[in-house]
Structure 1
Protein backbone atom coordinates (compact mmCIF):
# COMPACT_ATOMS: atom_id res chain seq x y z
CA UNK A 1 0.00 0.00 0.00
CA UNK A 2 1.45 3.32 -1.08
CA UNK A 3 1.00 5.93 1.66
CA UNK A 4 2.58 8.81 -0.24
CA UNK A 5 0.54 11.90 -1.06
CA UNK A 6 0.13 13.94 -4.22
CA UNK A 7 0.62 17.68 -3.83
CA UNK A 8 -2.07 18.95 -1.48
CA UNK A 9 -4.38 21.83 -2.27
CA UNK A 10 -3.68 24.94 -0.26
CA UNK A 11 -5.67 27.91 1.00
CA UNK A 12 -8.42 28.04 3.64
CA UNK A 13 -11.11 27.22 1.07
CA UNK A 14 -9.43 23.86 0.42
CA UNK A 15 -10.28 22.62 3.93
CA UNK A 16 -13.94 22.09 4.80
CA UNK A 17 -15.02 22.60 8.40
CA UNK A 18 -12.89 25.61 9.30
CA UNK A 19 -15.66 26.74 11.66
CA UNK A 20 -14.99 23.66 13.80
CA UNK A 21 -11.62 24.93 15.04
CA UNK A 22 -11.73 26.00 18.70
CA UNK A 23 -9.98 28.99 20.22
CA UNK A 24 -8.05 27.69 23.24
CA UNK A 25 -5.24 30.12 24.13
CA UNK A 26 -1.87 28.37 24.03
CA UNK A 27 -3.20 25.31 22.20
CA UNK A 28 -3.03 24.68 18.48
CA UNK A 29 -5.27 22.67 16.21
CA UNK A 30 -8.17 22.18 18.63
CA UNK A 31 -11.61 20.92 17.63
CA UNK A 32 -14.53 18.72 18.65
CA UNK A 33 -14.39 15.24 17.16
CA UNK A 34 -18.19 15.01 17.02
CA UNK A 35 -20.80 16.35 14.63
CA UNK A 36 -20.41 13.89 11.76
CA UNK A 37 -23.23 11.72 10.44
CA UNK A 38 -22.48 8.04 9.97
CA UNK A 39 -23.28 6.04 6.85
CA UNK A 40 -26.23 4.56 8.80
CA UNK A 41 -27.65 8.00 9.58
CA UNK A 42 -26.61 8.24 13.24
CA UNK A 43 -24.82 11.34 14.47
CA UNK A 44 -21.56 11.47 16.41
CA UNK A 45 -22.27 13.38 19.62
CA UNK A 46 -20.44 16.63 20.24
CA UNK A 47 -18.98 17.68 23.57
CA UNK A 48 -17.49 14.26 24.33
CA UNK A 49 -14.04 14.19 22.73
CA UNK A 50 -11.70 16.98 21.70
CA UNK A 51 -8.48 16.70 19.68
CA UNK A 52 -5.65 19.21 20.02
CA UNK A 53 -1.94 19.80 19.88
CA UNK A 54 0.06 19.56 23.09
CA UNK A 55 -0.90 21.41 26.26
CA UNK A 56 2.69 22.38 27.07
CA UNK A 57 1.96 26.02 26.20
CA UNK A 58 -1.58 26.18 27.59
CA UNK A 59 -2.16 29.60 29.13
CA UNK A 60 -4.31 30.33 32.21
CA UNK A 61 -6.95 31.66 29.82
CA UNK A 62 -6.68 28.45 27.83
CA UNK A 63 -7.13 26.42 30.99
CA UNK A 64 -10.38 28.26 31.63
CA UNK A 65 -11.50 27.34 28.11
CA UNK A 66 -10.62 23.68 28.73
CA UNK A 67 -12.52 23.80 32.02
CA UNK A 68 -15.60 25.14 30.22
CA UNK A 69 -15.45 22.12 27.93
CA UNK A 70 -15.79 19.93 31.01
CA UNK A 71 -12.72 17.82 30.22
CA UNK A 72 -12.34 14.96 32.70
CA UNK A 73 -9.61 12.95 30.97
CA UNK A 74 -6.49 13.93 29.01
CA UNK A 75 -5.03 11.22 26.79
CA UNK A 76 -1.46 11.96 25.71
CA UNK A 77 -0.11 10.02 22.70
CA UNK A 78 3.45 11.33 22.91
CA UNK A 79 6.60 9.44 23.81
CA UNK A 80 7.90 9.61 27.41
CA UNK A 81 10.85 11.75 26.25
CA UNK A 82 8.46 14.32 24.76
CA UNK A 83 6.35 14.38 27.90
CA UNK A 84 9.42 14.85 30.08
CA UNK A 85 10.73 17.69 27.93
CA UNK A 86 7.38 19.41 27.33
CA UNK A 87 4.93 18.40 30.08
CA UNK A 88 1.32 19.49 29.85
CA UNK A 89 0.63 22.70 31.77
CA UNK A 90 -2.81 22.42 33.35
CA UNK A 91 -2.84 25.50 35.63
CA UNK A 92 -4.73 23.85 38.44
CA UNK A 93 -6.98 21.67 36.30
CA UNK A 94 -7.11 18.12 37.63
CA UNK A 95 -8.31 15.77 34.88
CA UNK A 96 -7.36 12.13 34.94
CA UNK A 97 -4.35 11.69 32.66
CA UNK A 98 -3.15 8.68 30.71
CA UNK A 99 -0.20 8.18 28.39
CA UNK A 100 -0.60 5.94 25.36
CA UNK A 101 2.45 6.46 23.10
CA UNK A 102 1.59 5.46 19.55
CA UNK A 103 5.14 5.24 18.27
CA UNK A 104 6.93 2.00 19.23
CA UNK A 105 9.00 2.31 22.40
CA UNK A 106 11.93 0.35 20.98
CA UNK A 107 14.77 2.80 21.55
CA UNK A 108 14.90 3.91 17.91
CA UNK A 109 14.65 7.52 16.75
CA UNK A 110 11.39 7.60 14.81
CA UNK A 111 11.07 11.38 14.57
CA UNK A 112 13.14 11.70 11.41
CA UNK A 113 11.23 9.12 9.40
CA UNK A 114 9.23 10.24 6.36
CA UNK A 115 5.58 10.63 7.30
CA UNK A 116 4.49 7.70 5.11
CA UNK A 117 6.94 5.44 6.94
CA UNK A 118 5.90 6.73 10.36
CA UNK A 119 2.21 6.22 9.59
CA UNK A 120 2.88 2.69 8.39
CA UNK A 121 4.89 1.97 11.53
CA UNK A 122 2.08 3.21 13.77
CA UNK A 123 -0.45 1.19 11.76
CA UNK A 124 1.69 -1.95 11.99
CA UNK A 125 1.93 -1.65 15.78
CA UNK A 126 -1.55 -0.25 16.41
CA UNK A 127 -2.81 -3.49 17.92
CA UNK A 128 -0.64 -2.78 20.96
CA UNK A 129 -2.01 0.72 21.51
CA UNK A 130 -5.24 1.85 19.85
CA UNK A 131 -7.76 -0.64 21.33
CA UNK A 132 -6.56 0.16 24.85
CA UNK A 133 -6.51 3.89 24.12
CA UNK A 134 -10.04 3.98 22.71
CA UNK A 135 -11.20 1.61 25.41
CA UNK A 136 -10.31 4.29 27.96
CA UNK A 137 -13.12 6.40 26.53
CA UNK A 138 -15.67 3.80 27.62
CA UNK A 139 -14.63 3.87 31.28
CA UNK A 140 -17.03 5.38 33.78
CA UNK A 141 -16.51 9.13 34.15
CA UNK A 142 -13.91 9.36 31.38
CA UNK A 143 -15.87 11.73 29.16
CA UNK A 144 -15.55 14.45 28.09
CA UNK A 145 -11.97 13.69 27.11
CA UNK A 146 -9.16 15.51 25.30
CA UNK A 147 -6.80 13.60 23.02
CA UNK A 148 -3.47 15.04 21.90
CA UNK A 149 0.03 14.34 20.65
CA UNK A 150 2.55 17.07 19.77
CA UNK A 151 0.86 19.06 17.00
CA UNK A 152 -2.42 17.12 17.03
CA UNK A 153 -2.23 15.89 13.45
CA UNK A 154 -0.41 12.60 12.91
CA UNK A 155 -0.71 10.35 15.96
CA UNK A 156 -3.89 12.09 17.03
CA UNK A 157 -5.17 11.95 13.46
CA UNK A 158 -4.67 8.20 13.24
CA UNK A 159 -6.42 7.57 16.57
CA UNK A 160 -9.37 9.78 15.62
CA UNK A 161 -9.63 8.23 12.14
CA UNK A 162 -9.84 4.74 13.63
CA UNK A 163 -12.44 5.88 16.15
CA UNK A 164 -14.59 7.61 13.51
CA UNK A 165 -14.21 4.65 11.18
CA UNK A 166 -15.34 2.27 13.93
CA UNK A 167 -18.35 4.51 14.59
CA UNK A 168 -19.33 4.30 10.91
CA UNK A 169 -18.30 7.75 9.68
CA UNK A 170 -17.60 7.87 5.94
CA UNK A 171 -14.01 8.15 4.73
CA UNK A 172 -14.78 11.49 3.10
CA UNK A 173 -15.63 13.03 6.46
CA UNK A 174 -12.66 11.37 8.16
CA UNK A 175 -10.41 12.91 5.52
CA UNK A 176 -12.01 16.33 5.98
CA UNK A 177 -11.35 16.17 9.71
CA UNK A 178 -7.76 15.08 9.12
CA UNK A 179 -7.02 17.81 6.56
CA UNK A 180 -8.41 20.46 8.89
CA UNK A 181 -5.07 20.20 10.71
CA UNK A 182 -3.43 21.98 7.77
CA UNK A 183 -5.47 25.03 8.70
CA UNK A 184 -5.30 24.43 12.44
CA UNK A 185 -1.51 24.44 12.29
CA UNK A 186 -1.30 27.52 10.07
CA UNK A 187 0.27 25.65 7.17
CA UNK A 188 -1.92 26.92 4.36
CA UNK A 189 0.06 30.07 3.76
CA UNK A 190 2.68 27.87 2.10
CA UNK A 191 5.38 28.43 4.72
CA UNK A 192 6.55 25.20 6.42
CA UNK A 193 6.79 25.45 10.20
CA UNK A 194 9.78 24.33 12.22
CA UNK A 195 9.56 22.45 15.50
CA UNK A 196 12.04 20.74 17.79
CA UNK A 197 11.61 17.03 18.45
CA UNK A 198 12.30 15.29 21.77
CA UNK A 199 15.95 14.80 20.78
CA UNK A 200 16.47 18.51 20.17
CA UNK A 201 16.53 18.14 16.38
CA UNK A 202 14.80 20.83 14.31
CA UNK A 203 12.14 19.31 12.06
CA UNK A 204 9.69 20.80 9.57
CA UNK A 205 5.90 20.44 9.49
CA UNK A 206 4.39 20.80 6.01
CA UNK A 207 0.96 20.52 4.43
CA UNK A 208 -0.37 16.98 4.10
CA UNK A 209 -2.88 15.47 1.68
CA UNK A 210 -5.44 12.71 2.21
CA UNK A 211 -3.45 9.63 1.17
CA UNK A 212 -1.66 9.25 4.50
CA UNK A 213 -4.86 8.77 6.48
CA UNK A 214 -6.79 6.87 3.81
CA UNK A 215 -3.79 4.56 3.60
CA UNK A 216 -4.10 3.75 7.31
CA UNK A 217 -7.77 2.90 6.90
CA UNK A 218 -7.05 0.82 3.81
CA UNK A 219 -4.42 -1.24 5.63
CA UNK A 220 -6.79 -1.96 8.51
CA UNK A 221 -9.49 -3.03 6.07
CA UNK A 222 -7.10 -5.27 4.15
CA UNK A 223 -6.01 -7.01 7.34
CA UNK A 224 -9.18 -7.06 9.43
CA UNK A 225 -12.12 -6.04 7.27
CA UNK A 226 -12.82 -2.74 9.03
CA UNK A 227 -11.51 -0.44 11.79
CA UNK A 228 -14.26 -1.79 14.04
CA UNK A 229 -13.19 -5.40 13.44
CA UNK A 230 -9.58 -4.42 14.16
CA UNK A 231 -10.54 -2.95 17.55
CA UNK A 232 -12.72 -5.93 18.44
CA UNK A 233 -10.04 -8.46 17.55
CA UNK A 234 -7.29 -6.71 19.49
CA UNK A 235 -8.82 -6.18 22.87
CA UNK A 236 -11.82 -3.87 22.72
CA UNK A 237 -14.19 -6.78 22.13
CA UNK A 238 -17.76 -6.70 20.87
CA UNK A 239 -19.02 -5.37 24.19
CA UNK A 240 -16.47 -2.56 24.20
CA UNK A 241 -17.33 -1.58 20.63
CA UNK A 242 -21.03 -1.56 21.47
CA UNK A 243 -20.34 0.66 24.49
CA UNK A 244 -18.24 3.03 22.38
CA UNK A 245 -21.08 3.36 19.89
CA UNK A 246 -23.64 3.76 22.66
CA UNK A 247 -21.66 6.63 24.18
CA UNK A 248 -20.79 8.45 20.98
CA UNK A 249 -23.77 7.97 18.66
CA UNK A 250 -27.23 9.49 18.59
CA UNK A 251 -29.32 6.91 16.71
CA UNK A 252 -30.81 7.81 13.35
Structure 2
Protein backbone atom coordinates (compact mmCIF):
# COMPACT_ATOMS: atom_id res chain seq x y z
CA UNK A 1 0.00 0.00 0.00
CA UNK A 2 1.50 3.33 -1.06
CA UNK A 3 -0.01 6.77 -0.77
CA UNK A 4 1.28 10.32 -0.87
CA UNK A 5 -0.98 11.52 1.96
CA UNK A 6 -2.58 9.98 5.05
CA UNK A 7 -5.90 8.27 4.45
CA UNK A 8 -8.79 7.81 6.84
CA UNK A 9 -9.97 4.55 5.27
CA UNK A 10 -7.19 2.21 4.19
CA UNK A 11 -7.38 -0.25 1.26
CA UNK A 12 -5.62 -3.10 3.03
CA UNK A 13 -6.66 -6.74 2.81
CA UNK A 14 -10.33 -7.36 2.05
CA UNK A 15 -11.57 -5.04 4.76
CA UNK A 16 -14.56 -2.77 4.36
CA UNK A 17 -13.94 -0.59 7.39
CA UNK A 18 -10.21 -0.32 8.17
CA UNK A 19 -9.58 3.23 9.34
CA UNK A 20 -6.82 5.36 10.83
CA UNK A 21 -7.90 7.55 13.79
CA UNK A 22 -5.26 10.19 13.09
CA UNK A 23 -5.73 13.97 12.89
CA UNK A 24 -8.44 14.45 15.50
CA UNK A 25 -8.26 17.54 17.68
CA UNK A 26 -7.31 16.90 21.30
CA UNK A 27 -7.50 19.45 24.12
CA UNK A 28 -4.46 21.73 24.46
CA UNK A 29 -4.15 21.99 20.65
CA UNK A 30 -2.64 18.53 20.19
CA UNK A 31 -3.91 16.19 17.47
CA UNK A 32 -3.96 12.43 17.16
CA UNK A 33 -1.12 11.17 14.99
CA UNK A 34 -1.57 9.23 11.79
CA UNK A 35 -0.38 5.65 11.72
CA UNK A 36 -0.61 4.93 15.46
CA UNK A 37 -4.04 3.40 16.04
CA UNK A 38 -6.34 1.70 13.54
CA UNK A 39 -9.85 0.28 13.76
CA UNK A 40 -11.36 -2.36 11.49
CA UNK A 41 -13.79 -5.09 10.68
CA UNK A 42 -12.44 -8.65 10.47
CA UNK A 43 -11.04 -9.87 7.17
CA UNK A 44 -8.63 -12.44 5.82
CA UNK A 45 -5.18 -10.92 5.41
CA UNK A 46 -2.88 -12.77 3.03
CA UNK A 47 -0.54 -10.00 1.84
CA UNK A 48 2.28 -9.45 4.31
CA UNK A 49 3.47 -6.39 2.40
CA UNK A 50 0.22 -4.49 3.02
CA UNK A 51 0.30 -5.32 6.72
CA UNK A 52 3.99 -4.49 6.97
CA UNK A 53 3.24 -1.02 5.61
CA UNK A 54 1.12 -0.34 8.70
CA UNK A 55 3.98 -1.29 11.01
CA UNK A 56 1.65 -3.02 13.44
CA UNK A 57 3.05 -4.21 16.75
CA UNK A 58 -0.26 -5.18 18.35
CA UNK A 59 -3.63 -6.47 17.19
CA UNK A 60 -6.54 -6.68 19.62
CA UNK A 61 -9.25 -9.04 18.39
CA UNK A 62 -12.52 -8.49 20.27
CA UNK A 63 -14.27 -11.58 18.87
CA UNK A 64 -14.94 -14.84 20.69
CA UNK A 65 -13.51 -18.25 19.74
CA UNK A 66 -16.42 -19.21 17.47
CA UNK A 67 -16.19 -15.95 15.55
CA UNK A 68 -12.46 -16.31 15.08
CA UNK A 69 -12.88 -19.89 13.85
CA UNK A 70 -15.55 -18.77 11.36
CA UNK A 71 -13.38 -16.00 9.94
CA UNK A 72 -9.66 -16.34 10.74
CA UNK A 73 -7.80 -13.16 9.81
CA UNK A 74 -4.31 -14.55 9.35
CA UNK A 75 -2.85 -11.61 11.27
CA UNK A 76 -0.92 -13.92 13.58
CA UNK A 77 1.46 -14.55 10.68
CA UNK A 78 2.31 -10.87 10.22
CA UNK A 79 2.00 -9.14 13.61
CA UNK A 80 4.14 -10.03 16.64
CA UNK A 81 1.47 -9.56 19.30
CA UNK A 82 -2.13 -10.64 18.57
CA UNK A 83 -4.29 -10.45 21.69
CA UNK A 84 -7.69 -12.11 22.01
CA UNK A 85 -9.95 -9.94 24.18
CA UNK A 86 -13.56 -11.09 23.63
CA UNK A 87 -16.30 -8.66 24.66
CA UNK A 88 -19.38 -10.77 23.71
CA UNK A 89 -22.10 -8.15 23.25
CA UNK A 90 -24.69 -10.75 22.24
CA UNK A 91 -25.13 -11.78 25.86
CA UNK A 92 -26.16 -8.19 26.59
CA UNK A 93 -28.81 -7.88 23.89
CA UNK A 94 -31.45 -9.08 26.38
CA UNK A 95 -30.82 -5.83 28.29
CA UNK A 96 -31.92 -3.85 25.23
CA UNK A 97 -35.62 -3.07 25.24
CA UNK A 98 -37.61 -4.39 22.27
CA UNK A 99 -39.24 -0.97 22.11
CA UNK A 100 -35.96 0.97 22.31
CA UNK A 101 -35.73 3.95 19.99
CA UNK A 102 -31.96 3.53 19.97
CA UNK A 103 -31.08 -0.13 20.55
CA UNK A 104 -27.42 0.41 19.70
CA UNK A 105 -27.12 3.25 22.20
CA UNK A 106 -28.60 0.96 24.86
CA UNK A 107 -26.21 -1.84 23.87
CA UNK A 108 -23.18 0.44 24.21
CA UNK A 109 -24.34 1.60 27.63
CA UNK A 110 -24.76 -2.06 28.63
CA UNK A 111 -21.19 -2.75 27.48
CA UNK A 112 -19.97 0.10 29.68
CA UNK A 113 -21.84 -1.17 32.71
CA UNK A 114 -21.22 -4.90 32.29
CA UNK A 115 -17.82 -5.16 30.60
CA UNK A 116 -15.75 -2.68 32.60
CA UNK A 117 -12.97 -5.13 33.44
CA UNK A 118 -12.64 -6.29 29.85
CA UNK A 119 -12.74 -2.78 28.39
CA UNK A 120 -10.11 -1.45 30.74
CA UNK A 121 -7.83 -4.42 30.09
CA UNK A 122 -7.98 -3.56 26.39
CA UNK A 123 -7.12 0.09 26.98
CA UNK A 124 -4.28 -0.98 29.29
CA UNK A 125 -3.02 -3.24 26.49
CA UNK A 126 -2.87 -0.24 24.17
CA UNK A 127 -1.09 1.87 26.78
CA UNK A 128 1.79 -0.59 27.20
CA UNK A 129 5.21 0.65 26.08
CA UNK A 130 5.81 -0.32 22.44
CA UNK A 131 2.20 -1.47 21.93
CA UNK A 132 1.63 0.98 19.08
CA UNK A 133 1.02 1.01 16.18
CA UNK A 134 -2.01 -1.12 16.98
CA UNK A 135 -5.17 -2.37 15.32
CA UNK A 136 -8.43 -2.95 17.23
CA UNK A 137 -11.06 -4.99 15.42
CA UNK A 138 -14.17 -7.07 15.90
CA UNK A 139 -16.46 -8.52 13.23
CA UNK A 140 -17.80 -5.31 11.69
CA UNK A 141 -15.54 -2.74 13.33
CA UNK A 142 -18.63 -0.94 14.58
CA UNK A 143 -20.02 -1.88 18.01
CA UNK A 144 -17.30 -3.46 20.15
CA UNK A 145 -14.56 -1.65 18.28
CA UNK A 146 -16.60 1.56 18.40
CA UNK A 147 -16.90 1.46 22.18
CA UNK A 148 -13.18 0.73 22.65
CA UNK A 149 -12.05 3.49 20.29
CA UNK A 150 -14.53 5.91 21.86
CA UNK A 151 -13.08 5.20 25.31
CA UNK A 152 -9.55 5.76 24.06
CA UNK A 153 -10.31 8.99 22.21
CA UNK A 154 -12.44 10.38 25.02
CA UNK A 155 -9.84 9.49 27.66
CA UNK A 156 -7.10 11.40 25.85
CA UNK A 157 -9.26 14.49 25.42
CA UNK A 158 -11.08 14.26 22.08
CA UNK A 159 -14.47 16.00 22.22
CA UNK A 160 -17.61 13.86 22.34
CA UNK A 161 -18.88 15.24 19.03
CA UNK A 162 -15.67 14.24 17.27
CA UNK A 163 -15.70 10.78 18.86
CA UNK A 164 -19.28 10.29 17.67
CA UNK A 165 -18.47 11.42 14.14
CA UNK A 166 -15.55 8.99 13.93
CA UNK A 167 -17.90 6.21 14.99
CA UNK A 168 -20.53 7.31 12.45
CA UNK A 169 -18.09 7.02 9.53
CA UNK A 170 -18.71 3.28 9.77
CA UNK A 171 -22.13 3.80 8.18
CA UNK A 172 -20.40 4.92 4.97
CA UNK A 173 -18.55 1.62 4.62
CA UNK A 174 -20.69 -1.19 6.04
CA UNK A 175 -23.08 -1.57 3.15
CA UNK A 176 -25.82 -4.15 2.65
CA UNK A 177 -23.28 -6.10 0.59
CA UNK A 178 -21.02 -6.36 3.63
CA UNK A 179 -23.73 -7.85 5.83
CA UNK A 180 -24.85 -10.22 3.07
CA UNK A 181 -21.33 -11.52 2.40
CA UNK A 182 -20.16 -12.41 5.90
CA UNK A 183 -20.77 -15.82 7.50
CA UNK A 184 -23.52 -15.93 10.14
CA UNK A 185 -21.02 -17.16 12.73
CA UNK A 186 -18.74 -14.17 12.15
CA UNK A 187 -20.43 -12.11 14.89
CA UNK A 188 -21.64 -9.19 12.78
CA UNK A 189 -25.33 -8.33 12.97
CA UNK A 190 -27.86 -10.55 11.22
CA UNK A 191 -28.48 -9.17 7.69
CA UNK A 192 -32.21 -9.07 8.48
CA UNK A 193 -31.81 -7.06 11.68
CA UNK A 194 -31.65 -3.54 10.27
CA UNK A 195 -31.94 -1.96 13.72
CA UNK A 196 -28.43 -3.18 14.57
CA UNK A 197 -26.80 -2.21 11.28
CA UNK A 198 -26.65 1.53 11.76
CA UNK A 199 -23.95 3.79 13.08
CA UNK A 200 -25.72 7.03 13.97
CA UNK A 201 -23.69 9.53 15.98
CA UNK A 202 -26.60 9.77 18.44
CA UNK A 203 -25.96 6.17 19.55
CA UNK A 204 -22.41 6.94 20.56
CA UNK A 205 -23.38 10.26 22.13
CA UNK A 206 -25.88 8.36 24.30
CA UNK A 207 -23.06 6.18 25.61
CA UNK A 208 -20.72 9.13 26.16
CA UNK A 209 -23.40 10.96 28.16
CA UNK A 210 -23.79 7.98 30.48
CA UNK A 211 -20.01 7.76 30.72
CA UNK A 212 -19.93 11.34 32.00
CA UNK A 213 -23.06 11.20 34.16
CA UNK A 214 -22.37 7.89 35.92
CA UNK A 215 -18.57 7.66 35.92
CA UNK A 216 -17.25 11.20 35.55
CA UNK A 217 -15.92 10.64 32.03
CA UNK A 218 -13.72 8.16 30.20
CA UNK A 219 -10.56 8.80 32.19
CA UNK A 220 -12.36 8.38 35.53
CA UNK A 221 -14.08 5.23 34.20
CA UNK A 222 -10.72 3.70 33.29
CA UNK A 223 -8.91 4.69 36.47
CA UNK A 224 -11.90 3.50 38.50
CA UNK A 225 -11.45 0.07 36.93
CA UNK A 226 -7.75 -0.03 37.69
CA UNK A 227 -5.92 1.65 34.81
CA UNK A 228 -3.25 3.92 36.32
CA UNK A 229 -3.32 7.62 35.46
CA UNK A 230 0.22 7.36 34.14
CA UNK A 231 -0.86 4.66 31.67
CA UNK A 232 -3.50 6.99 30.24
CA UNK A 233 -0.91 9.77 30.05
CA UNK A 234 1.41 7.37 28.24
CA UNK A 235 -1.33 6.49 25.78
CA UNK A 236 -2.06 10.16 25.12
CA UNK A 237 1.61 10.91 24.54
CA UNK A 238 2.07 8.06 22.09
CA UNK A 239 -1.16 8.82 20.21
CA UNK A 240 -0.72 12.57 19.78
CA UNK A 241 1.68 15.19 18.54
Do the structures match in fold with TM over 0.5?
yes
- Between Structure 1 and Structure 2, which shows a larger proportion of strand residues? 1
Runs of 4+ in 1 over 4 A off after TM superposition: 108-114, 199-202
1:198 alignment counterpart:
185
Quick check: 1:176 aligned with 2:176? no
Question: Matches of residues 221-240 of structure 1 in structure 2 within 5 Å?
Answer: 221-240=212-231
Relative to total residues, which structure has the larger helix share, 1 or 2? 2
TM-score calculated relative to the size of structure 2: 0.82
Partner of residue 23, structure 1: 11
**Secondary structure at the counterpart of residue 146 of structure 1:** strand
Find 1:75's aligned residue among 60, 67, 74: 60
TM-score (norm 1): 0.79
How far apart, in 1, do the equivalents of 2:230 and 2:189 lie?
44
Return the offset for 1:94.
3.6
Give distance in 1, aligned partners of 2:223 and 2:185: 33
Distance change >3 Å, CA 199–CA 109, structure 1 → 2? farther
Q: Secondary structure at the match of 1:98?
A: strand
Contact 1:104 1:125 in 2 (8 A): no
2:236 alignment partner, one of 236, 239, 245: 245
**Greater RCO (Cα-Cα under 8 Å, separation 6 or more):** 1
Contact 1:192 1:207 in 2 (8 A): no
CA contact (8 A) 2:63 2:85 kept: yes
In 2, the alpha carbon distance for the partners of 1:247 and 1:65 equals: 23
Alignment length, in residue pairs?
224
| Separation of aligned partners in 2, 1:239 and 1:201 | 35
Flag structure 1 segments of 5+ consecutive residues without an equivalent.
1-18
SS of 2:35 mapped into structure 1: coil
Segments of 5+ residues of structure 2 without an aligned counterpart are 1-6, 97-102
Asked if the contact 2:89/2:107 (under 8 Å) is kept, the reply is: no
How far has the Cα of 1:207 moved from its partner? 3.1
RMSD: 2.7
3-state DSSP of counterpart to 1:26: coil
Per-residue CA distance 1:105-131 (angstroms, 9 max, x = gap): 9xx485996534432321212311121
Higher alpha-carbon deviation: 125-134 or 156-165: 125-134
Aligned residue runs from structure 1 range 7-86, under 5 A: 20-55=8-43, 57-58=44-45, 60-61=46-47, 63-86=48-71
